[in-house]
Structure 1
Amino acid sequence: MYKTSKILSIRCAYTDRQLWYIVRKTSTTQDNKSLLPPNPQKISSDMVGPPDPVSNLRRIVFKKPANEGQLEKKYRELRTEVQEWNQEFWTQHNSRFFKERENYLKHNLPEGKSNLTADEMSVFYKAFLDKNWKTHIKYNIEWYKKNVTLLGLAIRIKLRRIFRIKD
């Protein structure tokens, strides 16, 4: 028996994007090829995937239009690049968090207890945030720079469409 999956898409009314969900049948083996996102050239709109188990971010597959101009291509590629950068940051950050939390629990969990309370864990959370605040500041500054660049491109594209300017 093998693992199969299919991609279901649902149009999300408030974002006008499609969500893709991978439906898996249970089995004894895994088929990683079946977990690939949809082809950008074969979809009718941007599609949003399921949350990543580590980063908790939903990946977006951006539609590649047939008549895409140079500016639109640059915008789509930059959006993908920013998404990958963001994915990498949060995957590393959350992996570090889980590892350090596990280590903290290993050394601070009293015998006979299976968990610490939220108040007891707040010591770890504060220490983790204090230790990583510079990383978060750098991330936020870079994130804003990238978004301003994307916003500038989006405005230029919108103006070109309004005034029907060709590439």
Structure 2
Amino acid sequence: MALILRYTIKSTCVQSCKRTLSTSTSSSKKNWTENLATPVAADMIGTPDPISNLRPVKYYIPPHETAEEREWRESCQRVDAFNEDFWQKNNTLFMNAKAEFEDQFKARGEEVTAEAMSMFYKDFLNKAYDRQMEYNRTWWKMNVAQLYPGFKAAIRSLNKPKHESTHAAQHSKGNGFWEKSFES
């Protein structure tokens, strides 16, 4: 059994490598940029933003999206935008304060030690306490407010005819990571 599994994995990897090596760089870049504009078959998560460190989400929009599903998706997008905005501002403040702190040490000809940095971190967190607490309160309110739209969308999806809910799954066959990796 282990031998069969090893052979299957090895042949899948070899086929995947051949497919990857046979595609040219220019067509790969072209397809990648074209894919950003096209609708997705499932929610897609991107690479982390360099400043906020949050991963952006491109939400799937079903062809026959109901009002409840749209309300749920839009509420998720609002929370994502709120998080992105807060963490981008917070991390920018942090990076600027840290650079200024390090510059002060260097101007005096001193080395920035781990002990000095720990004092900086503590001071930064103390100064940011009210901002962080306001963020947490707002974030919790937004998440609780998402319960009702999410519940409505879930109930609505139970009432949808079977062919509508499985339609997207049938058309997305081959678009997922696992299908590409193991069924090719």
Following the alignment from structure 1 to structure 2, what is the Cα–Cα distance between the partners of residues 44 and 122?
46
Query: 2:36 maps to which residue?
Result: 38
TM-score normalised by length of structure 1: 0.70
Q: Give how far 1:82 is off.
A: 1.4
Change (3 A) 1:153 1:61: same
Which residue identity is paired with 1:119?
A: E
CA contact 1:37–1:61 (8 Å) conserved in 2 = no
Change (3 A) 1:161 1:36: same
Q: Give how far 1:165 is off.
A: 6.6
Following the alignment from structure 2 to structure 1, what is the Cα–Cα distance between the partners of residues 136 and 34?
30
More strand by share: 1
CA contact 1:49–1:60 (8 Å) conserved in 2 = yes
Q: Percent identity?
A: 30
Count of residues paired in the alignment:
131
Following the alignment from structure 2 to structure 1, what is the Cα–Cα distance between the partners of residues 134 and 77?
20
Query: 1:82 maps to which residue?
Result: 79
Q: Higher relative CO (CA 8 A, sep ≥ 6), structure 1 or 2?
A: 2
Q: Deviations over 1:101-134 (max 9, x none)?
A: 1111111245263xx2322201111111100100
Q: Deviations over 1:124-160 (max 9, x none)?
A: 1111110010000000000001111112211222123
Larger radius of gyration: 2
Query: 2:153 maps to which residue?
Result: 157
Q: Deviations over 1:1-23 (max 9, x none)?
A: xxxxxxxxxxxxxxxxxxxxxxx
Which moves more between the two structures, 71-80 or 147-156? 147-156
Q: Give how far 1:36 is off.
A: 8.8
Establish whether residue 118 from structure 1 lines up as the match of residue 111 from structure 2: no
Structure 1: state its 5+ residue gaps. 1-24, 26-33
More helix by share: 2
Query: 1:94 maps to which residue?
Result: 91
Structure 2: state its 5+ residue gaps. 1-24, 26-31, 162-184
Q: Give how far 1:74 is off.
A: 1.1
CA contact 1:38–1:61 (8 Å) conserved in 2 = no
Which residue identity is paired with 2:58?
A: V
